[in-house]
Amino acid sequence: MSDSPEREALPLSLLNDYLYCPRRAALKIVEGWREANVHTERGDIVHEHADLRGYESQISNLKSQIVTLRALPVFSERLGLSGKCDIVEGELRSPSTNLKSQISDLKSGSFAALRPVEFKLGKRRKWENDDAQLCAQALCLEEMFGVPVPRGAVFHADSKRRREVEFTPELRATTEKAITELHALLDPQLSTINSQLPPAVFKPACEECSLYEICLPQVTSQTERLRRAARSLFEI
């Protein structure tokens, strides 16, 4: 039995933050900042009161073959992740409308396949950070149930449209790499990446970030440029 301390499980949602902006994720992890704005509040509403009517209308033709699991807790000991899936579609090996049979299928892991579905704000559009978060959910499901999870979907609340996401080897590699880097932010000894906060990189989307007033990307990014310029004056 190993005497090494267990690493802290990362919340799945933090992976989305990290790929969108490493500094935002670091401010949450290292500094413990949590702020809300209209966008985060709307996001919370989407997750807590998901537009199930719009979602269900798109899978009505599959209902006899699919069990819908809502707010399913998931985890991965291998990756050090935990969180919840908004929805997981369980494709039954033998379709049944009997609740006891469905629960038995879940407990025994006798699904033909599982598909995570993540609810997001906005209109249908591909975002790498959303796809990686969904892929991380798939990795958790595969570890928990021993069932292949080759694809999932993002349901965009504003347009009420579903976007299918295939979990390719490339997406899986990107996801696992980001997870490793996130753990390194918590424990710098695990990696060679800088343990300090990532530098600010100002972009138009920064102004809509809930941590904008804390990060101050325009100020901090300019300060970092001045520091680099000052250091270069003394390099031989």
- Calculate the average pLDDT of the chain: 74
Running DSSP on this structure, what letter comes out for residue 71? E
Average the pLDDT over each of 39-43, 82-86, 212-216 and give the range with the smallest value: 39-43
pLDDT band at 118 (very low <50, low <70, confident <90, very high): very high
Q: Quote the CA–CA distance of 25 and 236 in Å, as a whole number.
A: 36
Reported as a single tens digit per residue, the pLDDT across 20-56 is: 888 777 777 765 555 544 444 454 545 555 545 545 5
Average the pLDDT over each of 58-67, 69-78, 155-164 and give the range with the smallest value: 58-67
Please enumerate in sequence order all residues whose Cβ is within 8 A of that of 88, keeping only pairs 6 or more positions apart, or say none.
68, 69, 72, 114, 115, 116, 117, 141
Q: Quote the CA–CA distance of 5 and 24 in Å, as a whole number.
A: 27
Q: Which residues pair with 153 in a beta bridge?
A: 117, 164
Written in H, E and C, the secondary structure of 138-204 is HHHHHHHHCCCCCEEEEEECCCCEEEEEECCHHHHHHHHHHHHHHHHHHCHHHCCCCCCCCCCCCCH
Q: Global pTM?
A: 0.72
Report pLDDT for 40.
47
Going through the chain in order, the beta strands assigned E by DSSP cover 10-11, 66-76, 81-92, 111-120, 151-156, 161-166
Q: Quote the CA–CA distance of 19 and 15 in Å, as a whole number.
A: 6
Kindly report the number of other CB atoms within 10 A of residue 32's CB atom. 7
Residue ranges of the chain that CATH labels 3.90.320.10? 10-193
Token digits of residue 63: 């209902």
Reported as a single tens digit per residue, the pLDDT across 123-182 is: 777 789 999 999 999 999 999 988 889 999 998 877 888 899 999 999 999 999 999 988
Token digits of residue 161: 């449209």
Is 3.90.320.10 the CATH number for 10-193?
yes
